[in-house]
Chain A
Amino acid sequence: MSKVGTDRVKRGMAEMQKGGVIMDVVNAEQAKIAEEAGAVAVMALERVPSDIRAAGGVARMADPTIVEEVMNAVSIPVMAKARIGHIVEARVLEAMGVDYIDESEVLTPADEVFHLNKRDYTVPFVCGCRNLGEAARRIGEGTAMLRTKGEPGTGNIVEAVRHMREVNAQVRKLVNMSVDEVMTYAKDLGAPYEVLLDIKENGRLPVVNFAAGGIATPADAALMMQLGADGVFVGSGIFKSDNPANFARAIVEATTHYEDYELIAKVSKGIGTAMKGLEISTIAPEQRMQDRGW
């Protein structure tokens, strides 16, 4: 008897992406550039986060035509974003055969209270987190992969760094804690107790945790790997740079060899100008994507 959609199958899919770069693309041509550069997966979108930020209004799941076009263009896995709590967008993407769904704060949330019950689906999910409480709640709901939220579409790495450090520091704290302190920690974090116990026992999160939200250069990608990311998502950083193919290749190499500084210097040379960045303090509080979801 075979079983589909088990935790092992869903989490295992994310394990296979480790050490790799997942790139945002908006059409078949960009998807091919990403695959050619060595991306381990692509995220099919209607607009990259910096354009979503610029356009304003309500951001929704991409037109299925775009997702389909990307799925037909490449043999690597294809991910797509659904709005937080939007059961039907998620089911539509699952029905289309998307390999992974990002329940994403980059899109305008459909539900301000509840995230999706991701255990219900055969398709695996990735969700954003800023701290261990958020990470553990998403794991409790059945996410098979995590990523930092960072601040999407800014080309500014500071928030992703904050979130990666926070999650990892809290995991270390939990691991070193005495078991009788865990329940209070669960209460303080708003985290499911059993998920925390499991993390404590194994010494690490039960799913991979990628970096996302603000990666714009090869050095940014390598920085996140050094801080303990299992891999990276690059949203606007590739196709908003002035030479996407160069940036894509250089970011893949810097992610693989994140401790080889001579190599990172070499791959960073003459690749063109990175996307224009955005200082976080200039973003109005209601425009901050990382505050969406809980």
Chain B
Amino acid sequence: MVRIGVLGLQGAIREHIRSVEAVGAEGIVIKHKEQLDEIDGLILPGGESTTMRRLIDKYEFLEPLVNFGNQGKPIFGTCAGLILLANEIVGQENAHLKLMDMKVERNAFGRQRESFEAELVVKGVADDFEAVFIRAPYIVGVGPEVEVIATYKGNIVAAKQGHYLCSAFHPELTDDHRLTGHFIEMVEESQRPAATV
């Protein structure tokens, strides 16, 4: 059974753990950087990206998180987690982990009253995925290595780059665990001896 960490600084942590357990993996809340050694894959949950970044800096998580990704260990970012993964953010000089070659815009769909749910096609995962968007970002541009796996009204809302996965919506807020399941498969894949990244 693979061990999946959920970065536990702030946000929808419990829901991701529930989703990870629902697809038969072990879920661990990561509060200290030392715990990153104990896990095979990591989820960056939704929450407030500015708050998370402050706590990431405060507890010196930035470098260990980047190293975790560079070791070939899979990372899945949802909403705020997607923002953390991007190497460019509209209107901001600095990005965060810069692990995925994409440019993102925060709160791109608007404020809370514009938050919505919609059914999406997520390539390789589902044709009818119930996606919940909350003050969600979207991806405004991607590099050649990034595969777009879902769009909504022409905007990119989920993508994959090697062992990195991200979504602007919140799979953890529904009982549809197929996207989490897809991530667990990516983690299992990364553990097979042949799969060097």
Residues of A whose CB lies within 8 Å of any CB of B are: 1-6, 8-9, 12-13, 15-20, 35-41, 75-77, 94, 97, 99-100, 122-124, 252-253, 256-257
Q: Which residues of A contact B107 (CB under 8 A)?
A: 75
Is there an interface contact between B10 and A256, defined as CB atoms closer than 8 Å?
yes
Q: Which residues of A contact B54 (CB under 8 A)?
A: 36-38, 252
List 25 A-B residue pairs with CB atoms under 8 Å apart, sorted by A's residue number.
A1-B119, A2-B118, A4-B113, A9-B117, A12-B115, A13-B115, A13-B134, A13-B135, A16-B12, A17-B47, A19-B10, A20-B11, A36-B54, A37-B54, A41-B48, A76-B48, A76-B51, A94-B113, A97-B111, A99-B113, A99-B135, A122-B113, A252-B55, A253-B55, A257-B31
Q: Which residues of A contact B15 (CB under 8 A)?
A: 15
Q: Is B13 an interface residue (CB 8 A)?
A: yes
Q: Look across to chain B and name the residue whose beta carbon is closest to the beta carbon of A260.
A: B31
Is there an interface contact between B118 and A19, defined as CB atoms closer than 8 Å?
no
Min CB–CB distance B135 → chain A (angstroms): 7
**Majority SS of interface residues in chain A?**
loop
Max chain A Cβ within 10 angstroms of own Cβ: one of B10, B14, B106: B10
Min CB–CB distance B8 → chain A (angstroms): 8
Residues of B whose CB lies within 8 Å of any CB of A are: 8-15, 31, 46-48, 50-51, 54-55, 58, 79-80, 106-107, 111-119, 132-135, 152, 170, 173-174
Indicate which residue in A18, A36, A252 contacts B12 across the interface (CB closer than 8 Å).
A18
Complexed CA–CA distance, A6 and B50 (Å):
26
Is there an interface contact between B11 and A19, defined as CB atoms closer than 8 Å?
yes
14 additional contacts (CB under 8 A) given A13-B134, A19-B10, A76-B50 = A4-B114, A4-B116, A8-B174, A9-B117, A9-B132, A12-B115, A16-B80, A18-B47, A40-B10, A40-B48, A40-B51, A76-B48, A99-B111, A252-B55
